[in-house]
């Protein structure tokens, strides 16, 4: 009986060893100049504390900034999983499946330069460069499919005083929740106005004027939301085209025109359309 229990315990032991050894890929197999994030986000084995599990499932998340590094990490994951299973006398080959996959987001230099210039005009010192991010993003799949150059920007949505206070205390990571956090709750203002200003400002060219190459004309979306016990609820949406007078007015006037307006318990939030 003891021998049978020992044999079955090897399966759980190999799972734990795989988790430990996977952490050495970043620190021992890759150059420090190639940032990589490897996370074992889920370990599932068994359903009871007094029953040895027949199998175990690991969910691993890998984030890299280029395809060569990604392939190197995936090859190391496969090698480690197979090696640990062999070392633990596994009776069958491990099943390794690749799940969701997102391509790297690589901003076009010319587009980024033009949008950065426009944002500097609209926001002044409030505009800056976002540091390298390790978040998964599928945005680039759309422009890549059509061969269109793009740039991806980030928008702050935390109360400015809250963020400034956290920076002064050195507690941004603790006091400022990010997306996917259960405490993430963007403030309505100045988020809505900033978002609209960014969308409008992105239409500007390097010369500081609006591009007239957009066809058909840009479309603005109006969303009416009503305050309820459960929060803001979308009531209706509609769109209209931005005419030549709007285009010649400049981003500041457009942003003022399309800023959110509150009518009692109803909020009319205006932004980019279809």
Architecture of domain 2-87 in CATH?
A: 2-Layer Sandwich (3.30)
pLDDT for 141-161, tens place per residue?
888 888 888 888 888 888 888
What residues contact residue 16 under an 8 Å CB cut-off, 6+ apart?
Answer: none
CA 99 to the chain's CA centroid = 17
- pLDDT greater at residue 51 or residue 38: 38
pLDDT for 198-256, tens place per residue?
887 777 654 444 433 333 444 444 444 444 444 444 444 444 444 445 444 444 454 45
Owner of token pair 């890299």: 64
Rounded to two decimals, the pTM is: 0.62
Residue ranges of domains in the chain = 2-87
Q: What is the mean pLDDT of residues 122-144?
A: 84
Q: What is the mean pLDDT of residues 45-50?
A: 82
DSSP 200-268: HHTTB-TTSSB-S--SS--EEEEEEEEEETTEEEEEEEEEEE--HHHHHH-HHHHHHHTS-EEETTEEE
> Is a pLDDT exceeding 60 seen at residue 17?
yes
């Amino acid at each position: 009986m003891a021998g049978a229990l020992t044999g079955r315990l090897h399966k759980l032991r190999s799972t734990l060893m795989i988790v430990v050894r996977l952490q050495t890929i970043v620190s021992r197999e890759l150059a420090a100049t190639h940032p990589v994030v490897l996370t074992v986000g889920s370990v599932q084995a068994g359903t009871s504390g007094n029953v040895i599990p027949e199998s175990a499932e690991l969910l691993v998340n890998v984030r890299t900034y280029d395809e060569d590094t990604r392939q190197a990490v995936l090859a190391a994951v496969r090698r480690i999983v197979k090696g640990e299973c062999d070392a633990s006398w596994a009776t069958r080959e491990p099943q390794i499946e690749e799940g969701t996959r997102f391509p790297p987001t690589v901003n076009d230099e010319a587009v980024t330069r033009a949008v950065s210039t426009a944002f500097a005009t609209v926001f002044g010192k409030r505009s800056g460069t976002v540091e390298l991010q390790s978040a998964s993003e599928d945005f680039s799949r759309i422009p890549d499919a059509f061969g269109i150059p793009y740039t991806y920007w980030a928008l702050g949505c935390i109360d400015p005083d809250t963020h400034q206070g956290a920076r002064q205390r050195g507690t941004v990571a603790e006091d400022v929740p990010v997306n996917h956090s259960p405490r993430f709750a963007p403030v309505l203002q100045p988020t809505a106005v900033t978002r609209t200003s960014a969308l409008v400002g992105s239409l500007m060219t390097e010369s500081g004027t609006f591009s007239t190459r957009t066809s058909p004309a840009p479309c603005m979306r109006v969303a009416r939301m009503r305050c309820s016990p459960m929060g803001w609820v979308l009531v209706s949406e509609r769109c209209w085209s931005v005419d030549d007078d709007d285009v010649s007015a400049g981003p500041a006037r457009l942003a003022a025109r399309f800023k959110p307006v509150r009518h009692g318990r109803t909020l009319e939030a205006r932004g980019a359309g279809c």
